[in-house]
Amino acid sequence: MTRWRAPRCGTAAWQAERRRWRAEQRRWRAEREDFRAAPRAGRKNGGARGAEQPGPPPTGFTLLPWLLVGMGAISNVLQGRTAHPWIGGLGLLVFNSLYVYVTFRAFGRRTREAVSTRVALGLMGLLTTGLALGYGGDWLVFFPLLGLAAGACLRGPLLGRAGTLLALYAGAIAYLRGGWDEATSIGYATFISSMVTAAILGLSEAVRELRAAREELARQAVEKERLRFSRDLHDLLGHTLSVIVVKSEAARRLAPRDLDAALTQVADIESVGRQALTEIREAVTGYREGSLATELTRARSALSAASVEPVVHRSGTPLDPQTEALLGWVVREAVTNVVRHSHATRCEITVESTPERARLTVTDNGTGTSTSPEADAGEGAGRSRGCVGGTGLKGLTERLAMAAGSLTAGPAPRGGFSVTAEIPVSADALLPAAAVTAPRGSRSPS
């Protein structure tokens, strides 16, 4: 049984290669159909998609037509003008098989650099040398085909040296069979075929890698924009709805005994709602205009409506609009948590700034515990644990981290809960666009 083992192994390898070739052919046909359908889809979508369609990726089929270069040798074999035609015919069959094998494996980086591909390329070189020395004439054109296969496989820094040596070797063989004229033409054709093939295939591969990188960058940009919008929407609606709920409760309590005060709270609810609509539209278009002074004023109003005494201290140098916008987000989220979860009676907001750093601290004297299931499920569930726990605080942490800042949240030393944000404001600490959306106009800091 051992004598049949080698033929069986060869048959299995041939069948595996045949299945791989058929799979490659089916993939090429599918990509060709997609390429043909792309212009129609592009026209339906306004023509933009069709213009960017690069076509199906190159495969071994693009190099098969070059086998027609050897038609002269095939014609000599068929017409009986070649000595030992069976040897010549077998050589043609083996050369074409190796050529197809090498070129189809040349379009994948892993298969192109495989040992089997390099071995097949070496066998092609030996076979081409034997056919050229044995027959000469039309059989010398197999050297340019060998150069084409070598250029498809040997891309990289060694290509120039390998292509030059192959061209000199082909010219030397051609000189032995046909003189200087044959040596010059065959050597030049071998060099050009290897260099041009490698350049075209390398450029095509680079273009596709750049296109894939551009698509990946576009996908990441979309993901960043989604995260930005989700953070903005959470911070805007969380704060606004909390203020509306607090003022509605205040209006309900005041209505039986002081109708004018209740109407004032209702008017504030209307104002907050209109402002929320404006801010949501600005967040959707990417032009959220933030001002720390505005957020501090709103914080005072929201805390007073929730029967929490607001105490605001601000000192230090003026801040740039981007830093003010980031600190405004912190004030909004921290005050929202105080109103919703703290059960506090006093909230102190301190803003300190130097030419190098800005520091914002929001401290309350509440218990930090929640009595309602809704609050327990929200940001306030993390207050008693002393961690940056909710979606809003996580979003703030991400914003400040992108601006080289930091956010800490936890129990205050003298009771209650404290949120502290620090941001560098030096000239070399540039805030990225994703950390805070660009304002439409600059406000002077108050």
The pLDDT value recorded for residue 377 is: 38
Same domain as 130, residue 186 = yes
Given a cut of 60, whether residue 288 has pLDDT beyond it is: no
CA 352 to chain centre: 39
Query: Can you give the CATH number for the domain in which 366 is found?
Result: 3.30.565.10
Domain for residue 329, yes or no? yes
187-192 average pLDDT score: 90
Same domain as 289, residue 159 = no
The pLDDT value recorded for residue 1 is: 46
How many percent of the chain have pLDDT more than 70? 76
Domain of residue 28: give its range.
2-217
Give the chain's mean pLDDT. 77
Beta pairing partners, 350: 313, 361
User: Which DSSP string corresponds to 354-380?
Assistant: -SSEEEEEEEE-S-----SHHHHTSGG
Same domain as 272, residue 182 = no
| 290 exposure class (CB count in 10 Å sphere: 0-12, 13-18, 19+) | buried
For 186-208, give one letter per residue: b (16+ CB within 10 A) or e. bbebbbbbbbebbeebeebeeee
356 Cβ partners below 8 Å, 6+ apart?
424, 425, 426
Domain for residue 399, yes or no? yes
Pairing of strands 346-353, 309-316: parallel
The pLDDT value recorded for residue 362 is: 93
pTM for the full predicted model? 0.46
Same domain as 233, residue 223 = yes
| 143 exposure class (CB count in 10 Å sphere: 0-12, 13-18, 19+) | buried
Given a cut of 90, whether residue 347 has pLDDT beyond it is: yes
Pairing of strands 357-364, 346-353: antiparallel
Highest mean pLDDT among 227-236, 249-258, 290-299, 346-355: 346-355
Domain boundary among 217, 249, 274: 217
Summarised one tens digit per residue, pLDDT across range 362-420 is 999 987 544 333 333 344 444 443 344 445 677 788 888 888 889 998 888 888 899 99
Domain count, the chain: 2
Highest mean pLDDT among 197-206, 261-270, 337-346, 348-357: 348-357
Of the listed ranges 30-44, 167-181, 374-388, the least confidently predicted one is 374-388
Domain boundary among 155, 184, 217: 217
Domain boundary among 192, 217, 242: 217
Summarised one tens digit per residue, pLDDT across range 134-166 is 888 888 889 999 888 888 888 777 788 888 898
The pLDDT value recorded for residue 234 is: 73
Taking phi over 0 as left and psi of -120 to 50 as alpha, with beta for the rest, 47 belongs to: left
Same domain as 200, residue 68 = yes
Both tokens of residue 146? 């060998």
- Say how many Å lie between the first and final Cα of the chain, rounded: 95
Hey, is 412 helix, strand or coil?
A: coil
Both tokens of residue 268? 């504030």
